[in-house]
Structure 1
Amino acid sequence: MKNQIQKAALISGIGIFIMVLTVPVAEFVIFPELIDYKNAEITFNNIKENRSLFTTGIFLHLITLICDVVVAWSLYLFLRPTNKDFSLLVALFRIVFALVTLAALLNLISLLNLTSNSDYLSAFDHSLYSKVLLAIKNFNLQWSFAFVFFGIYLILLGVLTYKASYVPRIFGILLIIAGAGYLIDTLRSFFFPSVEMSYLMITFFGELLFMFWLLIKGWRVKIIED
């Protein structure tokens, strides 16, 4: 029977894998079909007429948030033998990221009410159009801010992984690089939005490579907990 460490590694890998599938579908498939940032009225009507599709995008984000919490806990268990307190700190940063993202997601949930057919909302009230687009922009801004915590999380996770004797050190280095990439890109979007740093995208694959290791080899590590 797999010990707790092995199970935690497998759960972590599966959780990250699910997230790799959910958010991209919402952000690159569903929402681009419905949202036109240059035309608030079209966006309003698209969401109103495709309520189920928009709701699917929201729930894909919700599934991702649940996976964030699960992965935070499972990686805490996986890396706890290396340093229990530091592992807990790392997990807390991912949970904070999930909470800030949840707060951002509430902006999209509010659109389900704004675009409903209830009597107290008039489709001829043009102010509703701008409110819908504003809510979407608020979501994007707040979600972007959440990645400050995610970047710090990955850096700390990389340090902890680097110190773990049962994990190849290269993954610790890759996670640190990925975290730095997220942190720099997020801060750039707030302080220097006109600066182009699309090349930082290449650094984001650190967690993805770590996921593959967790799924292929990580769940078979054998260590003895104190």
Structure 2
Amino acid sequence: METLEKERGFRHQAARIGGAALLLMAIAASFSYGFVHESLTGHGDASATWNHLRSANLLLKSEIAGWILILICDIVAAWAIYVFLKPVHEALALLSAWFRLTYAAILGVSILNLLFVSLLSGSPEKFAGLGQGQLPAFTMLFLDAFESIWSAGLIIFGGHLLIVGYVAISSDHIPKIISILLLLASAGYILIHLAPMFLSAADPIVVVMEYIFKVPMIFGELGFGLWLLFRGGKVTAKN
């Protein structure tokens, strides 16, 4: 009985930690990608983007710090979700954790490209041998590499959500609406980021899919995080 109570308490803590990690990640992502990244890189051509990055290098560094925080939260969430879902289906819970950790590793590689961008735009005098005309081109190359590598990782992340959604819908305690949102979000991530790999003119299709899957992609993990934080611990205390 005492061992069972300790296990419930451990799952209780894991649920709270996982929920907090998912919410913190959502806030950091809104800042790093939704606010900073788009404002820094959405300037049309390489020269305009390069000049803006040079004048806002501190903001770029704050974006990178946000991505590193997201990476840490992903690792914590992988562990916490595994611990919480383990009693429902141990093998699938473990598989979901490995999928998320794989995604986190890919995200880490993509973040390295932003570090290269920060070096190029923050200290251009160190790369004078490249020539002034080449620096913007190299900067755009690393920015494109960041987004391409991250996009590939999000396919793996979609697989993680697919497993979590399936296990969640098999649970008697997790609300079905959250499980369904997670499954829809997984489909969104997989389809949106697979499309450019197989379709030459995927942009219009991706825009439509982003519109279709916008709600579950935003509220799937966010809703799961809120539920874990405020209700997940109460469930483990009773079961």
1:117 counterpart (116, 119, 123): 123
Does 2:42 correspond to 1:29? no
Distance across 1 between alignment mates of 2:38 and 2:91: 42
Q: Kindly tell me: are residues 37 and 143 of structure 1, through their superposed partners in 2, closer, same or farther at Cα, counting changes over 3 Å?
A: farther
The one-character-per-residue Cα deviations of 1:151-182 (angstroms, maximum 9, x if unpaired) are: 11101001111222332333322211211121
In structure 1, the gaps of 5 or more residues are none
Moved over 4 A (4+): none
Counterpart position of 1:49: 55
Q: Which amino acid counterpart does residue 236 of structure 2 have in structure 1?
A: K
> Residue type matched to 1:65 in 2?
L
RMSD: 2.1
Deviates more, 1:16-25 or 1:198-207: 198-207
Which amino acid is the alignment partner of residue 44 of structure 2? Answer: K
Change (3 A) 1:119 1:208: closer
Q: Tell me how far 1:84 sits from its aligned partner.
A: 1.9
**Residues 181-221 of structure 1: CA deviation (Å, up to 9, x unaligned):** 21111112332313232222122122222122112211211
Question: Number of paired residues?
Answer: 225
Deviates more, 1:205-214 or 1:8-17: 205-214
> SS state of the match for residue 127, structure 2?
coil
Q: Is the CA contact 2:166–2:179 (under 8 Å) kept in the aligned structure 1?
A: yes
Contact 1:166/1:223 (8 A) holds in 2: no
SS at match of 1:8: helix
**Counterpart position of 2:233:** 219
* Structure 2 residue matching 1:187: 3-state secondary structure: helix
Check 1:28–1:170 CA distance in 2 against 1; reply closer, same or farther (3 A cut).
closer
Distance 1:47 1:224, change over 3 A: same
Measure the CA separation in 2 of the matches of 1:46 and 1:57.
14
Instruction: Report percent identity of matched pairs.
Output: 28
Alignment of 1:4-23 (within 5 A): 4-23=10-29
1:119–1:180 CA distance, 2 compared to 1 (3 A):
closer
